[in-house]
Amino acid sequence: MHRLVTQYKDFSPEHEFLLALLAGGESCDLADRAAQLDWEHFFDVTPADLYGYMGYRLTEAGVQDHCPSKLFDQTRNARRAIAAQWLRLKIELRNVASSFEAQHVDFLLLKGAVLAFNAYPDCSLRPVSDIDLLVRPESLNRALGCIYATGFKCPERIQRAHPLSFTDSALLGENVSLPLQKDGTRAVIEVHTQLESAEPWFPMSVAQMWQSSQEQDVGGLRVHTLEPREFLFHLILHLARAHVYSLGLRPLLDVHLWIQLQSGHLDWQWIGSECLRRGYTEWAHLTLRLVRDLFGTNVPASFFKTVPPPIGLDHLAHLALQQIWANRRLDSLVPPRLAITLSQPSLWGAISTLFTRLKPTGRPAGNATIPAMEQSKSRGLLAGLHALKNDLSLKMPQYVRAWHSGSLRWSNLMEAARLAKGRVEIKRTMENVRPAFSSLQEPRSR
């Protein structure tokens, strides 16, 4: 019996097979399970952003013939789509890197691009939505200028969107980086000056991470990225504290594969002591325990002894697993603000949330966007109403279609509200365990 059976009530043989497959289980054992699998249900429980890697692992394990060809074709199509996206993004990354070099702009490549070309067997196995770049705060304007010069700009749909669409999930003091897209393509770049694992939230300066950065090969392009241990911290804090596990299973697979890749370079004694010193303790313990339980990742027992668990670990793991296994289509079907409103414990709470929607300028100044949205220059209730009108005009047609198709039914609304409430509970429990570093200083503008 898999250890997650007691923590996730909908856990099925198909869930168990997926985890064993992704973790690289023994082929003979997988073959026995594959012969008894409900393949339709298996594809239902597999997140769509893992179809490519899942198909690769089926082939590597030699069990692809058990999968109905009509379903297996979906994994091939997923790989083709990802490969095509990477062809475009590699070209754009080279162009941006050349422009940065000409203007003497340093940058670090983050997350997906580094993982796709290093931790995964092939870049077509790791889907990507954008390229994340970290630049020095003093170089931000020059960096944006370089990116604009290569044909990227903030899409009109983003400029017209309601500010809370982007700041709802932002950390206090975070500069929200808006996506910059190239016309006629799906190529998107986001420029950051902050990391979730550093100041103003934790006593670790981004400048120190610049100093320890290392060079990596990304599709034939030599770029700098975070030192392997710092990269691990960044992955953990991004998926856990910034997104409260709402990005699904793939980010935890990222952590698993990164640990496998860097197994000979990860000093777990140092990692544990740094978790304690910096204040990552609760997030790191919960996340790495989940990764270990899901994929059998080789995280030494000594780490969990050094880094104590958060209070109510089992309950937090249960809430996190609900987020991880959630149907991600709900995110596109149910407006986030509506889910947050429905999750409120009282009518007054729901009304207050809606009022915040009409007057979004009450957000802390530290949440300034990069680049600033047009609406952020306006103030007051009228500006909020105007932003809400634009928001509705952009999204209402898709919600109407979803309603007519039955996708936006009441059960979906309640599920989205339950997930939103779970994220709030995880965040409050974890943040109340210890005084946050951000409470010791004012958030600094980046």
Positive or negative: CA dihedral 198, 200, 202, 208: positive
Q: What angle do CA 362, 364, 370 make, to 5 degrees?
A: 110
Mean pLDDT of the chain: 84
**Average pLDDT of span 386-414:** 66
The DSSP letter of residue 206 is H
- pLDDT above 70 for 438: no
Is the pLDDT at 154 greater than 90? The verdict is no
For the ranges 85-94, 274-283, 370-379, which has the lowest average pLDDT? 370-379
DSSP bridge pairs for 152: 182
* Statement: residue 298 has pLDDT above 60: yes
Angle formed by the axes of helices 69-102 and 140-149, nearest 10°:
120
Which is higher by pLDDT, 243 or 375?
Answer: 243
Task: Tell me the pLDDT band of 415, cut-offs 50, 70 and 90.
Answer: confident
Name the residue with higher pLDDT: 338 or 150. Answer: 150
177: left (phi over 0), alpha (psi -120 to 50) or beta: beta
Enumerate domains of the chain plus CATH numbers. Answer: 13-329 (3.30.460.40), 330-440 (no CATH)
Does the structure show a pLDDT above 50 at 287?
Answer: yes
Residue 388 gets the label, from left (phi > 0), alpha (psi -120 to 50) or beta, of: alpha
Instruction: State the pLDDT at residue 396.
Output: 67
Q: Quick one: tokens of 86?
A: 């990477």
Are the C-beta atoms of residues 153 and 180 closer than 8 Å to each other? yes
Q: Give Cα separations from 405 to 332, 335, 370 (angstroms).
A: 14, 16, 37
Cβ pair 424, 343 in contact under 8 A: yes
**pLDDT 10s digits, 219-255:** 899 999 999 999 999 999 999 999 999 999 999 999 9
Separate counts of helices (H) and strands (E) for the chain: 21, 9
Question: Which pLDDT score, from 0 to 100, does residue 390 have?
Answer: 61
pLDDT tens per residue, range 304-345: 999 999 999 999 999 999 999 986 665 556 666 666 666 777
Question: So what's the pLDDT on residue 329?
Answer: 60
Q: What is the pTM of this model?
A: 0.86
Q: Which of 15-19, 131-135, 370-374, 380-384 has the lowest mean pLDDT?
A: 370-374
Q: How far apart are CA 90 and CA 257, in angstroms?
A: 22
pLDDT beyond 90 at 175? no
pLDDT value, residue 444: 36
By percentage, how much of the chain surpasses pLDDT 70? Answer: 74
State mean pLDDT over 425-430.
Answer: 93
Query: Are 299 and 268 in contact, with CB atoms under 8 Å apart?
Result: yes
| Sequence-ordered list of residues with C-beta below 8 angstroms from that of 264, at least 6 positions apart, any chain | none
> Picking from 56-65, 181-190, 305-314, which range would have the lowest pLDDT averaged per residue?
181-190
For residue 302, the model assigns a pLDDT of 96
Please report the pLDDT score of residue 318 as a whole number. Answer: 93
Contact 420, 323 (CB under 8 A): no
